[in-house]
Each structure stands twice: as C-alpha cells, then as structure tokens.
Amino acid sequence: MKLERIKDQKMNGERQNLRVRTRDYALRIIKLYESLPKNGAVHVISHQLLRSGTSVGAHYSEGCRAKSKADFISKIEGGLQELEESVYWMELLIQAEYINENKLNPLIEESSELIAIFVTMVKNTKLHQSK
C-alpha cells in the first residue's frame, strides 16, 4: 500500500511538472508571436504557430482527465501533432529568414523534448493497454 502511494505521488509530481512545462511552452510561443511583425506572410505563419503551440498544454490537460486509456492516447497524440506542427512553423520562420535560427533553437529543442515525452507516454500506455 505504501509503495502504491509513493508511485501515485511520483506520478502526480511528474504530471504537475509536465503541466507547468507545457504552460511555459505556450507562454514562450505567445512571447515569440508578440515579437514578430503583424503583416504579410510572417503574420500568417506566426499565427499558425500561436494556435499549435498554445494547444499542446490543453491537449495534455485533457489527457490527464481522460475517461479511458484510448481517450488518453487520443488526447496525447493530438498534443503530439500540435508539437510537430509547431516545429514546422518555427522551421519555416527560420528558412524564410523572419527570425534568426539561434533565437529559436532553445524553443525547438524544448519541442523535441516534449515530443519525446509524449511519444513515450503513448507507447507506454499502448503497451499497458494490451495487458
């Protein structure tokens, strides 16, 4: 019983950490959006980035309240798609020379780390779902 309580506390801590991390990610995306021009193609691209980057945490939060493992997987995979889309828009901003690559590298690295976490969550849930 005590071991289960420790595992629950650890999971809740990890869950809370990921909530904070995805919220901070959204805030970084918002600050990036606010720093870019609001005209032409850069505005269209940055607006797409704003939408995808800020929805990651929402998908994660929804996943935490999922009604089933299948529902959890669906929500987390939605967040994963939004992370991958966000990387796409950031790469486009760099390649179109709207922003310096060095400025976006930390945010792209955070995206990659979150992608790895989300992929692991889906894989582990699918593995345990079949048991």
Q: In CATH, what number is assigned to the domain containing residue 26?
A: 1.20.1440.60
- Interatomic CA distance for residues 114 and 86, integer angstroms: 12
Q: Describe the crossing of helices 69-95 and 101-129 by its angle, rounded to 10 degrees.
A: 160
- Interatomic CA distance for residues 7 and 2, integer angstroms: 9
Tokens of 82: 């939004």
What are the tens digits of pLDDT across the range 14-48?
667 999 999 999 999 999 999 999 999 999 999 99
How does 108-124 read in b/e, with b if 16+ C-beta sit within 10 Å?
Answer: eebbeebbebbeebbee
Q: How many domains does the chain have?
A: 1
Question: In terms of residue numbers, what domain contains 96?
Answer: 2-129
What is the reported pTM?
Answer: 0.86
Longest dimension (CA), the chain: 60
Closest CA to 110 of 28, 16, 13, 12: 28
What are the tens digits of pLDDT across the range 42-81?
999 999 999 999 999 999 999 999 999 999 999 999 999 9
Do residues 111 and 86 lie in contact, with contact meaning Cβ atoms separated by under 8 Å?
yes
